[in-house]
A and B are shown apart, each in its own frame.
Chain A
Amino acid sequence: MGIFGSLIKKEAIHIVRDKRTMFITLLMPLFLLILFGFAISTEVKNIKIVTIVDKHTDMSRDIEQKLAVNEYFTYLGQAAPGDVERLLRTGEIDAALFIRTDGDKLDTQIIVDASNTTSAKTSTGYIQGVLSGSSQSQPPILTQTLYNPQMKSAYNFVPGIMGMIFILICAIMTSVSIVREKENGTMDLLLVSPTKPGTIILGKLIPYFILSCIILAIMLLIAYTVLELPLSASVFNVIILSLIYITLSLSIGLLVSTIVNTQLNALIVSAVMFMVPIIMFSGMIFPIDNMPRILQCITTIIPARWYISAMRKLMIQQLPFGYIIRETVILGSMTIVLLGLAITKFKNSR
């Protein structure tokens, strides 16, 4: 076996023998996907609602009927106007709908508990939908949700979680494993051997690249089966883009390892400098369009932002490759710059 082969074999032994880390590495993606896919949901269901009706007409009964049969609402019947505030405060209801009949026209008012703005906005939308469907004087407003017709939040989170996991595993694991060798002094021995620094780096990166590919396979499998993302030809593009992103994350790990000298520092730098911005600024949770200008500028330097945005286009919108050229070019250039920087820094550590 050549130098390269034994470097990789050695690294593989490190990974496999550290059972606890390997267990976490392989289980965490599973756990996060399933957690976000099922438990944490931004969909609003079972909105508890009452109506306050001044005069019973066919139109008001029609609305009540629709609320009662709609799966998003739990219709609790009619309430007296004076009780509404108390009911909202105690949490017995989430929303109240005032219906006043003025001749043959309906006058409606929605009162909603907005302590959770996301669910308030969604419930208002739902109620408006019900109202528009029943109003006879106005034509109904038709809303068609494209790409994610059931508005399943799992769809939205899959790209985000993938963007996070790869940074976590590639950047943290590579940087920690290289710095561990610095701490133990084995890096010195590798360096004083005739092995080229480039070979040492590749011997470090490739095992983690393979590990990341395994994780990618696991995540895609879950996304397309358990979470029922629509399977299409875009899977190929998803894989290509993910491989670029994995390489980028490995370069970040390598770069971190050239800067810090202890495993603890490697962990902190990787976690604080990369995890936090990903969660905050990648659009994974908070929509970028809602951010102030200056923060929007900051998001452009965060690789995960581009990855997540492209993955949404590919996985959810099912768009062809042509629509993600910008993201691919940006991620590709970032990879080249970071990898180049990391290798130069590593070689010049003498």
Chain B
Amino acid sequence: MNSVVKIKNLSHKYGSTVALDDISLEVERGELFGIIGPDGAGKSTLYRILATLLNPDKGEVYVAGLNALTDYKKIRTKIGYMPERFSLYQDLTVNENLNFYASLFGVSIKENYDLIAPVFGQLERFPNRRAGALSGGMKQKLALSCALIHRPEVLLLDEPTTGVDAVSRSEFWDMLSQLRKSGITILVSTSYMDEATQCERIAMINKGKILDTNTPVNLVDNLNENLYCAAANNMFGLLNRLRRTSGVRNCYTFGATLHVVADTSFDPDQVSAQLTADGLKNVKIYRTKGDIEDLFIKLTRDE
């Protein structure tokens, strides 16, 4: 079996709230796999089950070829888990934290230093700073170093980039692609749709269900929508008018422009002429290709 993580018909409830609803998933060895979905989609529940902290109500879960229900003790030596919240000891220094986690797994920092070097390198300048006094990006790097120190087979990262600024976020993703070269399987969840393209394959998850699993490119190719970009001097006015235009199925903001999902009857030239006549200036409507975010909007709308 070459899949490192295998989930079959997994369901989990908290009381009457359904957190995960019949999820199936397979992650190959060495893959950088993304779990993309908003807050409350069930990502953290899935991670807690994979980390063997939570027993699922229904379904089968295998991590590193081991059953999560019966072999959870063995699994724990093979995974590195980084929970959603910053989970280091704030009153311990950088080095004390790293040493502590190394000793928990009975390894020395020296023997695995090569693995954490690209992550930990920047932290070496202040080994005696308390973890609580680090900046957001640095905390992230320390947490990742601690999760990696025992050379796990599978790295479980639950929303590592939430609340982190764009520059630190892209640095973090650069580190992940470096780590992949060492053969480690990485499961990373995020609520930032734009990060999806950094993964080899992604699963889109919403309200406890997996909407689709595929490579980012294939997902977008399968989008199969008649998509246009629209812009004008008054974007809010443009949005309101386009929504009332016939042939427009959906219209939403998209960065500096609007995206228009249209029927085949939609004629961009005719519509922009009409809008200009209505008093809008610099109206531009042109065909565009969607991305993951368009897909998410489509999938949630179809539900």
Contacts and interface: CB of A to CB of B under 8 A. Distances in A.
Bound pair (A, B) = yes
B104 interface: yes
Contacts of A195: 104
B54 A350 contact: yes
A61 B133 CA distance: 79
A6 B99 CA distance: 8
Looking at chain A's contact residues, the main secondary structure is: helix
Interface string B86-120: 11111110001001110111100000000000000
Interface of B: 48, 51-55, 72-73, 76-77, 79, 81, 83-92, 96, 99-101, 103-106, 146
Contact of B53 (A6, A13, A191): A191
Nearest to A189: B87
B54 A194 contact: no
Contacts of A193: 76, 101, 104-105
B96 A188 contact: no
Contact of A192 (B51, B90, B103): B51
A31 B96 CA distance: 35
B92 A192 contact: no
A186 B53 CA distance: 12
B103 A189 contact: no
A5 B106 CA distance: 11
Contact of B92 (A7, A10, A188, A191): A10
B96 A13 contact: yes
A3 B54 contact: no
A194 B76 contact: yes
A14 B73 contact: no
19 contacts: A2-B103, A3-B103, A3-B106, A9-B100, A14-B91, A17-B91, A185-B83, A185-B84, A185-B85, A188-B81, A188-B87, A189-B101, A193-B101, A193-B105, A194-B104, A194-B106, A195-B104, A350-B55, A350-B72
A3 B104 contact: yes
Given A6-B103, A184-B87, A185-B83, A192 B96 contact: no
Contact of B81 (A10, A189, A194): A189
B54 A14 contact: no
Nearest to B72: A350
Contact of B87 (A6, A9, A185): A185
Contacts of A9: 100
B61 to A, nearest CB: 14
Q: Taking each of A2, A5, A192, A193, which has the highest tally of chain B beta carbons within 10 Å of its own beta carbon?
A: A192
Interface in A177-212: 184-186, 188-195
A323 B72 CA distance: 50
